[in-house]
Protein backbone atom coordinates (compact mmCIF):
# COMPACT_ATOMS: atom_id res chain seq x y z
CA UNK A 1 0.00 0.00 0.00
CA UNK A 2 1.21 3.52 -0.84
CA UNK A 3 -0.24 6.85 0.23
CA UNK A 4 0.92 9.99 -1.55
CA UNK A 5 0.37 13.53 -0.31
CA UNK A 6 1.18 16.29 -2.80
CA UNK A 7 1.93 19.90 -1.90
CA UNK A 8 2.60 22.74 -4.32
CA UNK A 9 4.11 26.09 -3.39
CA UNK A 10 5.07 29.07 -5.49
CA UNK A 11 7.78 31.43 -4.23
CA UNK A 12 8.04 35.19 -4.73
CA UNK A 13 9.83 34.64 -8.04
CA UNK A 14 6.82 32.60 -9.23
CA UNK A 15 8.85 29.36 -9.17
CA UNK A 16 6.91 26.22 -8.39
CA UNK A 17 8.01 23.60 -5.86
CA UNK A 18 6.19 20.27 -5.71
CA UNK A 19 6.59 18.02 -2.68
CA UNK A 20 5.48 14.40 -2.82
CA UNK A 21 5.25 12.74 0.59
CA UNK A 22 5.31 8.97 0.24
CA UNK A 23 3.97 6.64 2.92
CA UNK A 24 4.12 2.85 2.73
CA UNK A 25 5.75 0.70 0.07
CA UNK A 26 6.84 1.79 -3.40
CA UNK A 27 6.96 -1.42 -5.40
CA UNK A 28 5.58 -3.03 -8.56
CA UNK A 29 2.06 -3.04 -7.13
CA UNK A 30 2.06 0.65 -6.16
CA UNK A 31 4.37 2.36 -8.66
CA UNK A 32 1.43 3.27 -10.94
CA UNK A 33 -0.04 5.35 -8.10
CA UNK A 34 3.11 7.45 -7.89
CA UNK A 35 3.34 7.72 -11.66
CA UNK A 36 -0.24 9.05 -11.74
CA UNK A 37 0.69 11.84 -9.30
CA UNK A 38 4.21 12.46 -10.63
CA UNK A 39 3.37 12.85 -14.32
CA UNK A 40 1.23 16.00 -14.00
CA UNK A 41 3.63 17.41 -11.40
CA UNK A 42 6.53 17.08 -13.85
CA UNK A 43 4.46 18.46 -16.73
CA UNK A 44 4.08 21.69 -14.74
CA UNK A 45 7.92 22.04 -14.97
CA UNK A 46 8.52 23.03 -11.36
CA UNK A 47 11.92 24.37 -10.33
CA UNK A 48 12.06 21.83 -7.51
CA UNK A 49 10.51 18.41 -6.97
CA UNK A 50 10.97 17.13 -3.43
CA UNK A 51 10.35 13.54 -2.45
CA UNK A 52 9.73 13.38 1.30
CA UNK A 53 10.48 9.77 2.22
CA UNK A 54 10.01 9.97 6.00
CA UNK A 55 7.29 7.33 5.94
CA UNK A 56 8.47 5.27 2.98
CA UNK A 57 9.19 1.77 4.27
CA UNK A 58 10.31 -0.04 1.11
CA UNK A 59 11.30 0.76 -2.47
CA UNK A 60 12.01 -1.53 -5.41
CA UNK A 61 13.67 -0.88 -8.75
CA UNK A 62 10.28 0.13 -10.16
CA UNK A 63 10.20 3.08 -7.75
CA UNK A 64 13.84 3.92 -8.37
CA UNK A 65 13.03 4.04 -12.10
CA UNK A 66 10.45 6.78 -11.44
CA UNK A 67 12.99 8.74 -9.42
CA UNK A 68 15.37 8.57 -12.40
CA UNK A 69 12.61 9.72 -14.75
CA UNK A 70 11.92 12.69 -12.48
CA UNK A 71 15.60 13.64 -12.41
CA UNK A 72 15.89 13.38 -16.19
CA UNK A 73 12.77 15.44 -16.90
CA UNK A 74 13.67 18.09 -14.35
CA UNK A 75 17.17 18.41 -15.77
CA UNK A 76 15.72 19.08 -19.25
CA UNK A 77 14.27 22.40 -18.08
CA UNK A 78 16.81 23.33 -15.41
CA UNK A 79 14.83 22.02 -12.45
CA UNK A 80 16.04 19.86 -9.59
CA UNK A 81 14.94 16.78 -7.69
CA UNK A 82 15.68 16.40 -3.99
CA UNK A 83 15.07 13.66 -1.45
CA UNK A 84 14.50 14.36 2.26
CA UNK A 85 13.89 12.35 5.42
CA UNK A 86 15.23 9.02 4.20
CA UNK A 87 14.81 6.09 6.58
CA UNK A 88 17.85 3.83 7.11
CA UNK A 89 16.61 1.11 4.75
CA UNK A 90 15.91 3.69 2.03
CA UNK A 91 19.33 5.29 2.60
CA UNK A 92 20.81 1.86 1.96
CA UNK A 93 19.09 1.67 -1.43
CA UNK A 94 20.40 5.11 -2.34
CA UNK A 95 23.88 4.09 -1.16
CA UNK A 96 23.74 1.06 -3.45
CA UNK A 97 22.72 3.33 -6.33
CA UNK A 98 25.74 5.49 -5.61
CA UNK A 99 25.97 9.20 -6.02
CA UNK A 100 23.74 9.94 -8.96
CA UNK A 101 24.55 13.20 -10.75
CA UNK A 102 21.89 15.90 -10.34
CA UNK A 103 20.15 14.02 -7.52
CA UNK A 104 20.34 15.63 -4.10
CA UNK A 105 19.67 13.90 -0.79
CA UNK A 106 19.10 15.85 2.42
CA UNK A 107 18.69 14.87 6.06
CA UNK A 108 15.41 16.78 6.37
CA UNK A 109 13.41 19.72 5.03
CA UNK A 110 15.42 22.23 7.11
CA UNK A 111 18.70 21.09 5.57
CA UNK A 112 17.18 21.35 2.08
CA UNK A 113 15.81 24.84 2.85
CA UNK A 114 19.24 26.00 4.08
CA UNK A 115 20.88 24.64 0.93
CA UNK A 116 18.33 26.33 -1.34
CA UNK A 117 18.68 29.63 0.53
CA UNK A 118 22.46 29.51 0.17
CA UNK A 119 22.17 28.75 -3.55
CA UNK A 120 19.74 31.62 -4.10
CA UNK A 121 21.96 34.07 -2.23
CA UNK A 122 24.71 33.51 -4.80
CA UNK A 123 22.42 35.18 -7.37
CA UNK A 124 21.69 38.23 -5.21
CA UNK A 125 25.29 39.44 -5.09
Say which CATH architecture domain 2-121 belongs to: 2-Layer Sandwich (3.30)
Mean pLDDT, all residues of the chain = 84
Domain boundaries, the chain: 2-121
The least confident of 3-7, 27-31, 36-40, 120-124 is 120-124
How many degrees, rounded to 5, is the angle at CA 100 between CA 113 and CA 93?
A: 90
Average pLDDT over residues 67-72: 90
Whether the predicted pLDDT of 100 surpasses 60: no
What pLDDT is recorded for position 65? 83
How many CB atoms within 10 Å of residue 10?
11
Residue 61's pLDDT band, with cuts at 50, 70 and 90, is confident
pTM of the model: 0.78
Amino acid sequence: MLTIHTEQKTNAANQLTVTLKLEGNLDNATVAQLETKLTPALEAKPMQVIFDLAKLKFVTSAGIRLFFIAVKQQKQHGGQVSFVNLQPQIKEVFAIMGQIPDMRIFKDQAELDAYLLARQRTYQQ
